[in-house]
Structure 1
């Protein structure tokens, strides 16, 4: 794995109340989405395309293209265990929350032939 838990802020105690999110950067290659998680990303990507790139054909967006749209920044949220996947637009980042039940850390210990 490639440096999975890299804190966004080194001093996480500043300004963090009980409900404030504590985010840790995570490499998108270390993430495995469930089928439902992939569907959430697909729906989110279509919505982003319709809003920010209306000329794009969001109806023919593949699941792989949708996931690729949201790998600019990926964070694990410590309090909820959820994942936050972000895409960088021209003037902002658009982020999509993925509940804890719909993602996991990829297990690369399996051998594929």
Structure 2
């Protein structure tokens, strides 16, 4: 009699445990839950990429400083040398060059080609 009660109770407990486990897994596989999980993974991946980019930037700055020291770019300037010159670009000083229109050809540039019969044009 006690054996039957024991096995009945063990079977009922196993059934409840299995049902609970299956219901939890089904809730995890609903479309809403999958969307939330995907969003969380995407945010986590974004944070990892941001951390990686910050590490790369820091290491790049450290390496540039090392190379500057090794090449003597950051050290004191020798007074016997002339001062450093920096190029100044004035974008408004010159007007842009005027180019020939596509139908105007000169004899030296186009040879004997006729612009009206150019087979390389896209039609």
TM bucket, shorter chain: under 0.3
| TM-score normalised by L of structure 1 | 0.19
Give the structure with higher Rg (CA). Answer: 2
**Bigger helix fraction:** 2
**Bigger strand fraction:** 1
| TM-score normalised by L of structure 2 | 0.17
Q: Which has the higher contact order (CA 8 A, sep 6+)?
A: 1
